[in-house]
Amino acid sequence: MAQYDKYVLNRLLDTYESSLLSIGGNRRTVHIEFRFTKRTIPGYFDESSSEYEKIHFCMETLEEKQLACICWKGKKEGHIIEKVRLNPGNLEEAYAYVRRVPKKDMAFCHCQLLEDYIGKESAPVCRAFAEYLLERLKEHKSVKEFVELEDEAATKRLLDTIEAIEGNTQQLYIREFSILHFQDSKALEKMEGRVAHVFRKFKENCEGAAFDEILAEYGIYRTPNYVYLKGDVTISVGDEKINVSALKQGLGISGEDIGRIRLCGMSGVKKVMTIENLTTYFRWQEEGCLCIYLGGYHNGLRRLLLQEIYAHCPVAEYCHFGDIDAGGFEIYRDLCNKTGIPFRMYRMDLKTLKAYENYGRPLTENDRKRLQGMCGWEEVREVALYMLEHDVKLEQECVKG
């Protein structure tokens, strides 16, 4: 027999938990009811089946156990059920009948769990996330965007994962990190969506970042991490020296080797250009320019390299060339803020956008939201307002250097 009794009782409890009654916030007499309609319980209105009798039996069982009462249409008992009303005096028994934990109990357990993460000074994203969840739960608001109250273990696993990412101090591949912390090489990848969502929401300047870019900031990589550079510079590794200018497309240096190299012979460098996309990097050829491929957001390794270059060439011109979109502007600002180097945008202005507008693409709703928040940035205000007004953004590859 279909468990119509548990189905209806669960729907009643759902309504109860969504109401002010569940938190004692409603002083008026409010009835929690489940109305019988073709949409809510179609089997009851199917004249070709025997579900009608089964449903009557199940509802009468709930009434006998004093968990709910039946409201008959036209007050004709035993005829047609109009609705079923929850008995608020037997809530404990109702939850037991459907083997369900009350939402307020699950919220209480989550609050106790979250308290353990509030003081995590070394993990600011984890702390901010825990504080947000705790505040919403105490205000009886939904946290379904991030966690399920029914699965406290999954919430703890998510918090532990974020804390572990923030606390990582060595260069690791994603699957190495997963083995180290979860004894499962694919555990982190399975949590990719939820982990990325938390970082985008609670880490500063991270809203548009891809999952791999977020992890790279903490030294965790899906594949070997390389920095590409070309131009008039010599790299020394121990006693060995490599003249990068002898290679037309420059050199890729593994992240593991960044700390071992030293730069020299940079007297001919007049400009340092960071480039967001690989195609543009390969096409770039300019005398006296040291060109570096960032591959989206820079991370700690690229930051160290840029700061060493700046120490050698403090009077060079520093430029960033990226997409004319919200992500490109965020990368530029993040680059300036985290390196302390006075970069300026290269060909990311309104004049360039207008010149190549025929190659542009329409904005998404997320683009619009992010651009609206950038209209207060002096360096991008003019182009951001134009993009919003004309519904356009432009990829870097469309622009000739």
Per DSSP, the residues of 93-159 read HHHHHTT---HHHHHHHHHHHHHTTTT-TT-HHHHHHHHHHHHHHHTT---TTT--TT-HHHHHHHH
Polymer length of the chain: 401
Contact 16, 62 (CB under 8 A): no
| Residue pLDDT, tens place only, 173-205 | 999 999 999 999 999 999 999 999 999 999 987
The CA–CA distances, whole Å, from 53 to 63, 294, 304 equal 15, 69, 75
| pLDDT recorded at residue 206 | 84
Top-confidence range, 21-25, 30-34, 249-253, 320-324: 320-324
Rounded distance between C-alpha atoms, residue 311 and residue 229, angstroms: 17
We find that the CATH architecture of domain 269-398 is 3-Layer(aba) Sandwich (3.40)
For helices 4-17 and 51-64, the axis angle rounded to 10 degrees is 60
Query: Per residue in 342-370, is it b (16+ CB within 10 Å) or e — as a string?
Result: ebebbbbebebbeebeeebeebeeebeeb
What span, in angstroms and rounded, lies between the C-alpha atoms of 207 and 199? 8
* pLDDT tens sequence across 331-351: 899 899 989 999 999 999 999
Rounded to the nearest 10°, the torsion over CA 364, 366, 372, 374 is -110
pLDDT at 162 over 80: yes
Q: Any idea where the domains of the chain sit in the sequence?
A: 4-97, 103-221, 269-398
Q: Are strands 81-86 and 68-72 parallel, antiparallel or unpaired?
A: antiparallel
Q: Is 298 strand, coil or helix?
A: coil
Note if the pTM is more than 0.75.
no
Query: At which residue do the structure tokens 């073709």 appear?
Result: 38
Distance of CA 91 to the CA centre of its chain: 37
